[in-house]
Structure 1
Amino acid sequence: MLKPLAVLLLTVLPVAAIAAPESYTLDPNHTFPNFTVDHLGLSTIHGRFEKTTGKVTLDRAAKTGSVDLAVPTATITTGDSDKGSRPRSRDEHLRTADFFNVAEFPQITYKATKINFNGDNPSSIEGDLTLLGVTKPLTLTIARFKCNPASGNNKEKCGGDATAKFKRSDFGMKTGIPSVGDEITLLVGFEGFKD
């Protein structure tokens, strides 16, 4: 009686080990939420946030996973940090209550509610974006995703690019519209080490 059970366990256990969820810690030196926004209908302003942290879990067998991302708002940069003869630089203005209000809202967060797969790789992430204390659904489309074997620190690293569009006014950020566009195009370049 015990022999068939032992054979069954020996057959099932390796499959369970292979199918286990894998966890990754995002590399803040290679994970940057970038954004673009229209300026006066003349040009596109580019910006990004630095020092982003988070965790990603992927279960390729079950086609599920999770994403938990934290973006420090004070790290915003658009390449305009020198005020010159102006009262303040654009980056300083973006940190005020007119825009990101970093004193009251030091983080933007994104939490996945569902990860969709194409084969073994994630193709989109459905989740909730919290900006200025307002939470709205946002789907990120994974433009590319790849994993490399262990690198210099002997850990597998995965990464890719995720894109989305949203209206900043949906989160209560209305200053400057329409001179400064309402629609934000988001591109998140991300890399994470396997835990």
Structure 2
Amino acid sequence: MKKMLVAALLASASFAAAAADTYDLEPNHTFPRFAINHLGFSTFHGQFNKTSGTATIDLAKKTGSVDVTIDVASISTGVAKLDEHLQTPDFFDVAKYPTITFKSSQFKFDGGKLEEVRGELTMHGVTRPVTLEVENFVCKDHPMTKKPACGADLEAKIKRSDWGITTYVPAVGDEVTLSIEVEAVKK
């Protein structure tokens, strides 16, 4: 009887250790950013200031999923008139497409290192596959809140024309570099 109880406790401890953890994106530390060539002169940068979502990660099984929503009206380039123009039908058409979403259940690990997150990016009414390369990934107790947290730096290159955003191509670049800094806190 004692052996069965010990076996049951060990089995439940193993199950708990292998269980996936769910994290809420921390909106004050999660910023999707973009960079695009501007008329061949320079690389222009902007970001979205309102992002929400969750990530579920099972480090033992090397699996995960994310469901992220970006508020397109929160676009910020540092130029108010440009922010307004980017919200019009010439670009993002915020009235018709108020959000950008990214959903994934395909995390690629190499040993203990997360290397890629493959998913579906929906923007401007179009859904296409996107692979985010992981530059940095860490899960540990947050030094200030003492709660379990994860963070990552991710990057991808996309062509905005693939999502039907073609105004001023090619003068304003078609290729866009996405850089996403994300922090998430365990629920």
What amino acid does structure 2 have at the position aligned with 1:164? A
Larger CA Rg, structure 1 vs 2: 1
Question: Aligned pair count?
Answer: 187
State TM-score, norm by structure 2: 0.95
- In the TM superposition, structure 1's runs of 4+ consecutive aligned residues that sit over 6 Å from their partners are none
CA contact (8 A) 1:60 1:121 kept: no
How big is each residue's C-alpha offset from its partner over 1:41-100, in whole Å with a ceiling of 9 and x where there is no partner? 11111000011011000011111111000000001111111xxxxxxx111110000101
Aligned with 1:69: secondary structure? strand
Question: What's the CA shift for 1:4?
Answer: 5.0
RMSD: 1.3
Equivalent in 139, 142, 149 of residue 157 of structure 1: 149
* In 1, Cα distance between equivalents of 2:13 and 2:126: 44
CA contact (8 A) 1:151 1:157 kept: no
1:54 is aligned to: 53
* In 1, Cα distance between equivalents of 2:142 and 2:175: 39
Equivalent in 138, 152, 166 of residue 174 of structure 1: 166
1:77 is aligned to: 76
Percent sequence identity is: 47
1:16 is aligned to: 15
Change over 3 Å in CA distance of 1:99–1:156 after alignment to 2 = same
* In 2, Cα distance between equivalents of 1:164 and 1:55: 20
What amino acid does structure 1 have at the position aligned with 2:9? L
* In 2, Cα distance between equivalents of 1:171 and 1:178: 15
CA contact (8 A) 1:51 1:75 kept: yes
* In 1, Cα distance between equivalents of 2:133 and 2:79: 29
1:184 is aligned to: 176
Which stretches in structure 2 are left out of the alignment for 5+ residues?
Answer: none
Q: Write out aligned runs for 1:137-156 (5 A).
A: 137-156=129-148
CA contact (8 A) 1:37 1:45 kept: yes
State TM-score, norm by structure 1: 0.91
How big is each residue's C-alpha offset from its partner over 1:137-160, in whole Å with a ceiling of 9 and x where there is no partner? 000011001233144433122112
What amino acid does structure 2 have at the position aligned with 1:28? P
1:32 is aligned to: 31
* In 2, Cα distance between equivalents of 1:118 and 1:54: 25
2:128 is aligned to: 136
CA contact (8 A) 1:66 1:113 kept: yes
1:117 is aligned to: 109
* In 2, Cα distance between equivalents of 1:171 and 1:131: 6
Aligned with 1:191: secondary structure? strand
* In 1, Cα distance between equivalents of 2:174 and 2:87: 17
* In 2, Cα distance between equivalents of 1:184 and 1:150: 32
* In 2, Cα distance between equivalents of 1:193 and 1:94: 31
1:105 aligns with 2:121: no
Q: Which has the higher strand share?
A: 2
